[in-house]
Structure 1
Amino acid sequence: MYISRRRLLSFVPATALLTAVNPARATAVTASAPNALLANAIAIYAGTAESNARPEVAAKLTAMDTTARTWLAAMDRAGATELFAGLPLGTSDPNLSASYQHLYEIALAYRRPGPASDLQGNPEVRAKVIDGLQRLHDGWYGDQAKGYYGNWFTWEIGISTFASKTLALIDAPATLITPYVASMDSYLRNGKNGDVDLDSRFHTGANLVDITANRVLQGALLGDDARIRKALTDQFTVFATIDPYNLQHGVTDGYYADGSFVQHASVAYTGSYGKALLSRVVQTIKVLAGTSYAQTGELIGVVQGWVEDGFAPLIFEGWMMEIVKGRAVSRPGTGYDDVAVIVEAVVDLADYAGAQDAARLKAFAKFTARPTINPNSFVSPVSIARFADLRADPAVVPADLNPAASSTAFNAMDRTVHRRPGYAFALARSSDRISKYEYMSGENLMPWFQGDGAHYLYLSGQDQTRSYGVDYFTTVSPYALGGVTAPVETRKTIPELYGTAYYNRPPEFTPSSEAQNTYVYFPTGTNKHSGGATLDAYGAVGWVQSDDFAHASRDELPDDFVTYRNASATKSWFLLDDEIVVLAAGIHDAGRPVTTTLDTRIAAPGDPVTITGVRRDGRPWTGSGDPRWLRYAANNVAVGYYFLAPTEVSSTLQDVIRSRRTIRASNPDTPVTKQVFALTAAQPAGSTRALAYALVPNATEPALRAYNHGRLAVLANTPRLQAIQHLG
């Protein structure tokens, strides 16, 4: 197999990173080096005089000023136990973190260059921010005995991120910086001696990048060269490709040679934590620009490898696929919003890459950014200006990094993506290595089958928010996601079971304990067989459905801990040009009926939806029976289903109204109405059955009739062997 230099650079062993940070010089460190880091960081968040003079950046600056005025007014209305009205302090770590965030937002408006405003450089505004920081530290943050309640992330990452940036933006006095940095060090309780611990399960992947980026900024504020270099050395470990057969510090979080990204030890997470890590490491490259702290040349090549091999295959027409978002699938933000973060990182990365690589990155950014992308969502005003230049440059011709036809096996995270002109098919599996789902903090309340062969079929030219995203998970039954085989039963969410967002039984089960992760938040499967192979642009995938690790361990868990048994099945997917062939065998449950959902799709309430087809006996389809083929069509969307063996199925189309809060406790209580189509095969308890069918994207009725001539044939479909023949 040919391996390009760019792909070779993406495979960086841990030992190569030891020399990426330049050694400190024997002479005393001058203030210029840390000051250069500070100046670069401030330019990222507040912009530069040049970027902020651009008309394309004006809306971002207006939003900064408006937000700052909102929070300044809230400061004036605050009560005795608040810094901002409506955010009482003392027991709520989200309120404390939000208070620091709002000080940061005020500091942005104070520090930003560009068109003048009454906030810009205003000493009274700076004094209010300093006073706010002092009050928060004295009253609710500085006392270590009173802090660290709620989520560990708030104390080790969240507050430190906002506080460090704010201290830099207002050019805070040393009398404020010194106690703050001391407190931030003390809150690194999952670290070692107030610093990063690479052996800690909390200091990995995206979390490690956040912590070390904060420590670089803190080192610059203190003029502490050793702190800066130590933080960079720690951060650069995330650039090393994870070798599952030679783990460093026992860490499985990070990027793998096949493009997979894992966070939380076992969650496929490119589309959430992965994009956050991408954004922060590109910011690190920007912070280091023009300094002598590190050699970033090879690191740029590594990050480009992540973009090309890890992110690009998971983006379809500007949409981040659901299979790599963990609990974030329950959030109201869209797949387009996710990709905006990636576009910003790619635009910035192109500024530091070599000429040929920069051209590829710019072409991809231009190709991937939808016309409706909102550059004001970018972190940096400088990035907005760069993106405007890229968009306006006729020499940058939009081009995908993906071949038009490809099949990508992300086996390290049990995910598969298959692409053809007109569609993309994404498949989520699980195993004893990779979690079945992720639930946490009241997010993704009904996740049970998201890693059990759930698939997503994206069709070209569509607004994907009409087919997937938060409204898909809101209105589609969690037992009837497309591709899922589930026992017929009603499961309870974690809050319904235990009255809290977690199982509370100290000391083993606490909100952030390892047991909570293993058995509640993101349990793995128990099957070893889950994988796939590709040949040119074609692919085959195999998977054995299993119980999750919690149910397999039920005899070792407390009596009141609830687990759920799964149904059994063996499945294979054959990824071809015009169709995806699915074989399922050994579908069984001894005591419960079982339903296999061949596909599920949603449509807006007013969309005309038609379901047509022909039964095996030649009669028209009427909603149930043994079909030869079926076709779903709605609003320029069409999917066909061809059955390779006699199969009793039913098709339903229901109007569903459900609140987004059903799947995430903090979502607005917004009712969503959709037409939900489901194609299902039901079987009674104790029975065993097999299924063989093809999903046909963008199908026409003539194309479906053509399958009658023996184009596809099943050679074997048992739990031991599954094979097909395609006659072209």
Structure 2
Amino acid sequence: MTTAWSRRALLATGGGTALALGLPTAASASGPAALPASAASTTAADAADEFAALRAKWRDLYLGTGFSPTAEPFKSKLADLGNQASGFRSTMAPARGSLWPDLVYLDPDPDTDTESFGFSANMNTGYNRLRTMAEAYSQPGTGLTGDTGLRDAVITGLDHLHADVFNETTARYGNWWNWQIGAPQALMDTCVLLHDDLTDAQRAAYCKAVDTFLPDSAVGSYTGTSTGANRVDLCRGIILRGIVGADAAKIALAVAALSPVFPYVTTGDGFYPDGSFVQHTSIPYIGGYGAVLNDGLGRLFALLRGSTWEITDPGSRQFLDTIDAAIAPFIYDGLMMDNVSGRGITRVGSSDHTRAHGVMASIVLLGMGAGPEENARWRAMVKGWLKRDYHAPALKSGSLSLVNTARLQTLLDDTSVTASPEPSAHRVFHNMDRATHRRRGWGAGLSMASARIAHYEFGNGENKRGWHTGSGWLQWWGDGAGLEQYSDAYWPTVDPYRLPGTTVSRKKLADGQGGAWANPKPGTKWVGGTGDGEFGTTGQHLQGLASTMHARKSWFWLDDCVVCLGSGITSADGAGVETVVDNRCLGTSGTPRLLLDGKAQPTTQGWTTTRTTTWAHLDRHAGYVFPGGTELHALREERTGAWKDINDDGTTAPNTRRYVTLWQDHGTDPADSGYAYILLPGASSARTAARAADTGWLQILANDARRTGIRVPSLGFTGVNFWEAGTAGKVTASAPVCVQIHEKRDGTATICVSDPSRTVTGLTLTWQRHVKSVLSKAETVTGVRTGSSVTVTFGDLSSSRGATHTVRVRVR
């Protein structure tokens, strides 16, 4: 069971399986500003009963219901919980400045903030340990269920922390989060679990302490640290304080304060209409803060449903849309893609799989309050993820809470639910510079940076070498290989200058380059893409982090491959520049066969070669085709690193993993260099060789600093990134836009256009193809001329923030 319930745990336990969620359907005020008149007339006994009912419901949400404590995996989890609690009780030693000897929380030098983050975190961890002990006391089957000695130890600890540090006379130090979110939540959870064992005076004193550090003003305005997931957490703390202290006004205040979370945003933190989720102003964070927001709102909906304070803001129903629009596209076969998890990717003990586990349980909980069609679809989707995750199954994960285990086990055992497969779909998230591409058999995610979205996030000593995760980093997973790719000690062992898909200067960067919480962004604006839901076209004008390196990178997302082109690669760093075709982690002993133009290469560690190559193949991984051939560098190596190298809180134990790396070297200080390759995830060597031999399959229309485009005749596909106005093949654009044309077998074609730079106030697009008629067009289209060619004129695209504008035409 989790004991350190800090932000770094990402997801707390979810709701009980016996509770229906439900969301309001009638439009109403955004939340009660004060108690309704009906509530004012209730008797004191009625009010007490309602607070008691809410405490009971929160107990169920926190502890879970409907599972057998004598059946696995619950029996083992409960025993582990009891062992943890027993260990905490045996080592607890109240003293001035600490409750446990290893958790000193009083800052000896409050004028210096360097170390105070750690002290405040220790205070928060102390409350988390007490909550774990209270849970072991309250849960069945822990070996400590109802143990009065354990209960008394928890109360002793609560009194000590209150008297020593967490009270109305203490000045806050260190990390604000520990004082306003972490400690208040853990304290109020514990008060709910032990409510009847605490005196009125104790509960009042603890509530007063929460009021001190989590005052009403913390949710007074939607800004700073009171937005998005943080806002939900703050409201949760206030609501629980209201329930513990029988304060109706507190609950009403927090419910009303949730309202700004629901609407889609156009800047800053929150969910966007395209499914993007941003936190810390410029960090894509669906796998971190977005998951916390999802989980937190789901439980608050469940908690307050049917009460005086039921959440009735009409915008709350919009929140359900985020499951399909934002969450699901980034979960693949039971893992959460790293490119939306910020600095959390470097936390030891967590992985892309463990980050997905709690999210899946939250989706099941939210489905209880959705419509029947949504609930059925979500349950089938989650069951598919559960069944396909062979690497780190959620129900065998030690990181999954007991209550979430119960919810997911119930779903897996439900024979009325048929697991759904991964969908075939392409998605562009233009508000956070991300794209996902999914086919039956493989999936991929792309991470970019722009003047809007940071290269990477560094803070709290985490993710010190994530510098190039926004440099066109291309993750992919395939059938039979790959689900463990980024989970098996990848981050402490991978070469941070050689992330797959990236183009980078080898200029040495400092740990945490740019500084903590700086969220460094490039100055480039042309970053984004378009797509028709099946295929996609994406581009990035890349400027390297703390580098003079510029490149124009393009990806064309097709049925069995990704075509990757680069142009205009220029640098003056005095360092080499490379494009990393791939960098596959092979575990501790993997030696898959590598073929270069059909010839097997040595499997010796440390082996490297450079040779002109037209295709390569790595067994059980992928094929790579290089149109026209390229000078390819290949390397087998063992790399050793510790989590401590990339995260101050990590362990020093060494991890060694094997890698096969393929890259193209553009040389030192290149001028207008480029590259071209085709990535075929999961392809056999025969299929890779056949694609390389079919020289007519791909037509590269242009690949320079002005435009990059391709045509694939067999797919009826044309994609062009116009870095500036120009012509590529049969397509001409009067402005810098992204264009994709997909001709279908039914005689129609879909023309998709986006303005990644958000600067285009008018566009004339011409396609030299006979077009009979227009079937539909975007509102931004101001005119269409058909005939032997088609010319489409668009009005202002800049205000659409990079969204796709679609025109459907009949070509025969």
Same fold flag (TM > 0.5) = yes
1:427 to partner: Cα distance: 0.5
Whether 1:210 aligns to 2:228 is no
Structure 2 partner of 1:561? none
Decide whether the 8 Å contact of 2:288 with 2:340 is kept in 1: yes
In the aligned structure 1, how far is the partner of 2:698 from the partner of 2:621?
Answer: 21
Q: How does 1:108-257 map to 2 (within 5 A)?
A: 108-112=135-139, 114=140, 119-142=144-167, 144-145=169-170, 147-171=171-195, 172-188=198-214, 194-244=217-267, 252-257=268-273
Over residues 549-575 of structure 1, what are the superposed CA-to-partner deviations in whole Å (9 max), with x where a residue is unaligned?
Answer: xxxxxxxxxxxxxxx224110111000
1:90 alignment counterpart: 106
Structure 1 position 449 matched with structure 2 position 474: no
Q: Which structure 2 residues correspond to residues 479-628 of structure 1 after superposition, within 5 A?
A: 479-494=497-512, 517=517, 520=518, 522-547=519-544, 564-592=546-574, 593-614=576-597, 623-628=609-614
Shift of 1:269: 0.6
- Whether the 8 Å contact between 1:434 and 1:524 is mirrored in structure 2 is yes
Counterpart CA distance in 2 for 1:296 and 1:453 is 42
CA contact (8 A) 1:322 1:469 kept: no
Residue in 2 that maps onto 1:24: 35
Q: Is the 8 Å Cα contact of residues 323 and 427 (structure 1) preserved in structure 2?
A: yes
Distance 2:431 2:271 in 1: 9
For structure 2, the 5+ residue unaligned runs are 1-22, 108-118, 603-607, 715-812
Partners in 2 of 1:23 and 1:279 — Cα distance?
26
Match of 1:313 in 2: 329
Tell me the equivalent position of 2:662. Answer: 679
Instruction: Say if 1:45 and 1:381, in contact at 8 Å, map to a contact too.
Output: no
Q: 1:45 aligns with which of 62, 66, 79?
A: 62
Counterpart residue identity of residue 155, structure 2: I
Which of residues 443, 449, 470 in structure 2 aligns to 1:430?
A: 449
Per the alignment, residue 639 of structure 1 pairs with 622
Q: Secondary structure at the match of 1:230?
A: helix
CA distance in 2, matches of 1:309, 1:704: 34
Alignment match, 2:605:
none
Task: Decide which of 654, 669, 676 is 2:652's aligned counterpart.
Answer: 669
Aligned to 1:552: none
CA shift for structure 1 position 174: 2.8
Q: How does 1:262-277 map to 2 (within 5 A)?
A: 262-277=278-293
Change (3 A) 1:479 1:16: farther
Task: Check 1:677–1:118 CA distance in 2 against 1; reply closer, same or farther (3 A cut).
Answer: closer
- Aligned-pair distance for 1:375? 6.8
Return the alpha-carbon distance in structure 2 between the equivalents of residues 490 and 380 of structure 1.
41
Deviation at 1:373, TM superposition (A): 1.7
Whether 2:421 is the aligned partner of 1:397: answer: no
Determine if contact 1:652/1:678 at 8 Å carries over to the other structure: yes
- Counterpart-to-counterpart distance in 1, 2:70 and 2:147: 23
Per-residue Cα deviation, 1:269-309 (whole angstroms, up to 9, x for no partner): 11111111111111112211332322469677434322212
Question: CA RMSD, aligned part only?
Answer: 2.7
Deviation at 1:23, TM superposition (A): 6.2
The structure with more helix, counted as a fraction of residues: 1
Are 1:44 and 1:380, in contact at CA under 8 Å, matched by a contact in 2? Answer: no
What is the rounded CA distance, in whole Å, between the counterparts of 1:87 and 1:608 in structure 2?
45
Choose the corresponding residue for 1:410, options 429, 452, 464: 429
Secondary structure, in 3 states, of the residue corresponding to 1:647?
Answer: strand
55-64 or 652-661, which deviates more: 55-64
2:403 and 2:670 mapped to 1: Cα distance?
63
Q: Deviations over 1:145-197 (max 9, x none)?
A: 4x422211111111111111111111133312223233223224xx7x64413
Q: Aligned partners of 2:472, 2:572: CA distance in 1, in Å?
A: 21
Contact 1:378 1:384 in 2 (8 A): no
Deviations 1:479-505 (A, max 9, x none): 1111111122222214xx8xxxx96xx
Partners of 1:153 and 1:22 in 2: how far apart?
A: 26
Q: Match of 1:360, SS?
A: helix
1:105 aligns with 132
State the alpha-carbon separation in 2 of the partners of residues 204 and 17 from structure 1: 23
Q: Distance in 1 between matches of 2:218 and 2:625?
A: 59
Q: 1:586: Cα distance to partner? A: 0.6
| 2:488–2:587 CA contact under 8 A, matched in 1 | no
| DSSP 3-state at the match of 1:55 | coil
Cα gap change, 1:128/1:260 in structure 2, threshold over 3 Å: closer, same or farther? same
Match of 1:704 in 2: 688
Distance 1:439 1:410, change over 3 A: same
Deviations 1:83-141 (A, max 9, x none): 124223312122211111111111112233x45x7643444433322221111111122
Residue 527 of structure 1 aligns with an amino acid whose one-letter code is T
Q: Number of residue pairs matched? A: 656
Counterpart-to-counterpart distance in 2, 1:670 and 1:421: 38
Amino acid in structure 2 at the alignment position of 1:374: L
User: Does the 8 Å contact 1:144/1:187 carry over to 2?
Assistant: no
Note if 1:630 corresponds to 2:611.
no
Partners of 1:654 and 1:378 in 2: CA distance: 31
What's the % identity of the aligned pairs? 27
Q: Is the 8 A contact 1:44 1:381 kept in 2?
A: no
Paired with 1:330 and 1:318, the residues of 2 have a C-alpha distance of 19
Displacement after TM superposition at 1:464 (Å): 2.1
**Which moved further from structure 2: 233-242 or 536-545?**
233-242
Q: Offset at 1:229?
A: 1.2
Compare the two structures and name the one with the higher strand fraction: 2
Moved more, 655-664 or 424-433: 655-664
- Contact kept in structure 2, 1:347 and 1:386, CA below 8 Å: yes
Counterparts of 2:507 and 2:179, CA distance in 1: 40
- State the shift of 1:17 in Å: 7.7
Cα gap change, 1:165 to 1:591, in 2 (>3 Å): closer
C-alpha contact (below 8 Å) 2:34/2:249 kept by paired residues: no
Show CA shifts across 1:563-590 (max 9, x none).
Answer: x224110111000011101111110112
Change (3 A) 1:132 1:619: closer
| AA matched with 2:369 | Y
1:722 aligns with 2:708: yes
